[in-house]
Amino acid sequence: MAVDVGRYGIWAREDQLTPEVAAEIERLGFGAIWIGGSPPADLAHAESLLAGTGRIAVATGIVNMWKDPADAVAASYHRIAERYPDRFLLGVGIGHPEATAEYRSPFETIVSYLDELDAAGVPVEGRALAALGPKVLRVAGERTAGAHPYLTTPAHTAEAREILGAGPLLAPEHKVVLSDDPEHARAIGRPKVVSPYLRLSNYRRNLLRLGFTEKDLDEATDPLIDALVGHGTPDAVAAALTAHLDAGADHVCAQILTEDGGPGPEYTTALRALAGALPLR
């Protein structure tokens, strides 16, 4: 693929990604910044992060296919790719039926949207697809640079790699809390998992496929939270991330959760502590 995202990245909401935070992520040696949520079609925030940094890759995680027309997104992609060649990865995805009144035929919509990106000249190697289930993972491997799964475990990563085969990018997100007090860490991580993700059918289906029970999902049990939110010392959190690489991922992006929600001193402290425990370039 043309965009080198490195082995480790940071996934964060748009409001967390100030120019100062982006510059610090780059300085610490992470390979990519993933803009979470549903960045609008103009991709202005992605462009501002690229302008404020020198080498780090920037990716969207993800542009919502229901919300933003492919032609508008393609125009923004070409603008950014021309100004910052080989540094921008367009992550796109279908979103959630609960959030979209006209949600219909999700698989057909994905294929149609990728067809439109093809027609608009967005290269396969310049885009990635949010994917959880086998059918969409196969499309990610065939029609994009690869897959960007969200709210998953290393076990899912291993399954995804088997489906994708060798070659396509596999870049899962994983939540982390840098606290060696398990109860404190769960108190921070649990609300971020419960709302909205445990109320969304696509994530519930995927977690059930991975062996969790309806009870785990309905009660947000400790084993579920511990599987989805790496916590502990910086070394323990680094190991939770690296487990995805050991399972077949090419890249893993950490979503750092803090008590104050960030950005701020607590977030920066956690970011630096995590960087110190990882083999960053």
> Residue 105: its pLDDT value, please?
79
Reported as a single tens digit per residue, the pLDDT across 10-29 is 999 999 999 999 999 999 99
Q: What is the pLDDT of residue 2?
A: 81
Q: Work out the percent of the chain whose per-residue pLDDT is above 70.
A: 96
Tokens 């294929």 -> residue: 111
In tens, the pLDDT along 39-57 reads 999 999 999 999 999 999 9
Nearest to 224 by CA among 130, 152, 131: 152
* pLDDT recorded at residue 102: 58
The pTM of this model reads: 0.96
Segment 112-136, tens digit of pLDDT: 999 999 999 999 999 999 999 999 9
pLDDT at residue 104, rounded to an integer: 64
Position 261 scores a pLDDT of 86
Beta pairing, strands 88-93 & 57-61: parallel
| Confidence (pLDDT) at 96 | 63
Strands 8-12 and 252-256: parallel
Could you tell me the end-to-end alpha-carbon distance of the chain, in angstroms, rounded to an integer? 19
DSSP bridge pairs for 36 = 61
Contact 73, 41 (CB under 8 A): yes
Q: Rounded to whole angstroms, how far apart are CA atoms 153 and 2?
A: 27
Mean pLDDT to the nearest integer, 135-164: 98
Confidence of residue 34 (pLDDT cuts 50, 70, 90): very high
**249, amino acid identity:** A
